[in-house]
């Protein structure tokens, strides 16, 4: 049975992959989320990794990394000085920043609620 973190990684991985591919041809996806080529490529890579680790049932570490990354980008978008850099590098608008904060928080909650995997001989 898949853990919630694994299911989350599959769902968010699929979303990121779709958003990333779409973002290669458009600066706005889903009607409200801004992106650019760099942002889109990052999402494609994260989406593929999310699908892989979710499928392999090893998504805890991915959720920790993704959660920290998305929270950082989302919060930085609201800090004067840093916001300009985030917009310049990744074309992150307010909607993307809020979504990053929400998804990042959920990813961290699921990761830390998941039991650590231990290997036995």
Residue 120 above 50 pLDDT? no
φ and ψ of 33, to 5 deg: -90, 120
**Burial of 6 (C-beta count, 10 Å sphere; 0-12/13-18/19+):** buried
Average pLDDT over the chain, rounded to an integer: 95
Q: What gap in Å lies between CA 119 and CA 14, rounded to an integer?
A: 28
Q: What gap in Å lies between CA 57 and CA 31, rounded to an integer?
A: 32
pLDDT tens, position by position, 19-69:
999 999 999 999 999 999 999 999 999 999 999 999 999 999 999 999 999
| Predicted confidence band of residue 117 (pLDDT cuts 50, 70, 90) | low
């Amino acid at each position: 049975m898949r853990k919630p973190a694994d299911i989350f990684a599959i769902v968010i991985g699929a979303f990121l992959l779709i958003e990333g591919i779409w973002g290669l041809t458009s600066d706005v996806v889903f009607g409200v989320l801004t992106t650019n080529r760099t942002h889109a490529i990052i999402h494609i890579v994260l989406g593929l990794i999310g699908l892989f680790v979710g499928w392999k049932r090893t998504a805890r570490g991915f959720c920790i990394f993704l959660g920290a990354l998305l929270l950082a980008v989302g919060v930085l978008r609201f800090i004067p000085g840093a916001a300009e850099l985030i917009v310049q590098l990744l074309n992150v608008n307010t909607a993307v920043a809020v979504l990053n904060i929400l998804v990042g928080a959920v990813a961290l909650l699921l990761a830390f609620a998941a039991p650590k995997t231990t290997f036995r001989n």
